[in-house]
A = this chain, B = another copy of it.
């Protein structure tokens, strides 16, 4: 029988001690970590980058098909992704949790196992947080702090006419993973004896449940002296994000459907659901890839990296934000890129 320790047995401070007792500080800049009113971080000569995300059960995740370890891992990664999207290196995180009495200490340990796995992999320190009771549902709030050489951070505002529009990795997979898990959940709820059919779908399931942040791309930029003119991470879908870049950079863009990178397994599953894979890439969220623009003169450097696809270019604002389809049509991209493709 599995052990179940009620959180009330430990008390708040016992719980915090329990959850943080194995922390090893990784960054010399972490001067004071967990266990005081606040953490102290030294950033002498570096600029500090800060981001925060709030994840709420029933809105952002479904514990019915989300293993807690993956959830802990993802909670960290989605914040680190925002730091990388500034061309910065994450160094610390804080994590606050709202915990209902449904969650046991063992369940929290599993969650933190994922948190620490992500921290170790990406070299960041957990330096503080807060734990609170929640009457309903599990609530996760993470703040990530990173550092960047002064002036080297990349905003969303610098895209210029003629710049190349690029994305890392592939798109749409996380959305299709979600569609798959929601389908299996529905089947299970209707008949609990049917086992979930996830065969050959490990790629899209992993894209949803255990995303990675693109540290490798930031390292590649540094090694090849590339500074993108604008950048952001793709959490809400390519359509939404390219519109953000164009709005904040005051420019237009042309994308090419055939250039949008989509994983083969994701594509096949989209067809199974009678969905357009491109629509999934445009409107599906949570891929945590990077969308960025570079000067044309950086093209020679970029082609070295098979994890980067050039998908279009930046235009005058008056030309709007459009996509040229494989069939030779041209559509305006809207925040609901999906609809554009359904019409």
- Would you call A52 an interface residue if the criterion is a C-beta within 8 Å of the partner chain's C-beta atoms? yes
Q: Which residue of B lies closest to A247 (CB)?
A: B13
- Would you call A127 an interface residue if the criterion is a C-beta within 8 Å of the partner chain's C-beta atoms? yes
Q: Are B97 and A58 in contact (CB under 8 A)?
A: no
- A141-161 contacts to B, CB under 8 A, are 141, 143-146, 148, 150, 153, 155-156
Q: Are A155 and B85 in contact (CB under 8 A)?
A: no
Q: Which B residues are CB-close (under 8 A) to A38?
A: 49-51, 82-83, 85-86, 88, 144, 146
Q: Are A50 and B59 in contact (CB under 8 A)?
A: no
Q: Which B residues are CB-close (under 8 A) to A139?
A: 54, 56, 98, 139
Fill in one digit per residue for A41-69: 1 if any B CB lies within 8 Å of its CB, else 0: 11111011111111110111000000000
- Would you call A40 an interface residue if the criterion is a C-beta within 8 Å of the partner chain's C-beta atoms? yes
Q: Are A59 and B130 in contact (CB under 8 A)?
A: no
A51 to B38, CA, bound (A): 4
Nearest-CB distance from A290 to chain B (Å)?
A: 10
Q: Is the interface of A mostly helix, strand, loop or mixed?
A: strand
A91 to B45, CA, bound (A): 18
Q: Please pick, from B37, B52, B129, B150, the residue contacting A94 in the complex, using a CB distance under 8 A.
A: B52
Q: Which residue of B lies closest to A94 (CB)?
A: B52
Chain A: residues with Cβ within 8 Å of the partner, total of 62
Q: Which B residues are CB-close (under 8 A) to A51?
A: 37-39, 94, 128
Q: Which B residues are CB-close (under 8 A) to A141?
A: 52, 54, 96, 141
A59 to B55, CA, bound (A): 18
Q: Please pick, from B54, B131, B153, the residue contacting A132 in the complex, using a CB distance under 8 A.
A: B54
A275 to B80, CA, bound (A): 49
A38 to B51, CA, bound (A): 4
- Would you call A18 an interface residue if the criterion is a C-beta within 8 Å of the partner chain's C-beta atoms? no
- Would you call A35 an interface residue if the criterion is a C-beta within 8 Å of the partner chain's C-beta atoms? yes
Q: Are A60 and B132 in contact (CB under 8 A)?
A: yes
Fill in one digit per residue for A231-258: 1 if any B CB lies within 8 Å of its CB, else 0: 1110000000000000010000000000
- Would you call A179 an interface residue if the criterion is a C-beta within 8 Å of the partner chain's C-beta atoms? no
A100 to B43, CA, bound (A): 38
- Would you call A320 an interface residue if the criterion is a C-beta within 8 Å of the partner chain's C-beta atoms? no
Q: Are A132 and B37 in contact (CB under 8 A)?
A: no
Q: 23 A-B pairs, CB-CB below 8 angstroms?
A: A37-B82, A37-B232, A38-B50, A38-B83, A40-B47, A40-B49, A40-B50, A40-B148, A40-B153, A41-B50, A42-B48, A43-B48, A44-B45, A44-B47, A48-B145, A52-B128, A52-B129, A53-B96, A53-B130, A54-B97, A58-B135, A59-B134, A135-B137
Q: Which 3 A-B pairs have the closest CB atoms?
A: A38-B51, A141-B141, A54-B96
Which residues of A line the B interface, CB within 8 A? 31-32, 35-45, 47-56, 58-60, 82-83, 85-86, 88, 92, 94, 96-98, 127-137, 139, 141, 143-146, 148, 150, 153, 155-156, 231-233, 248
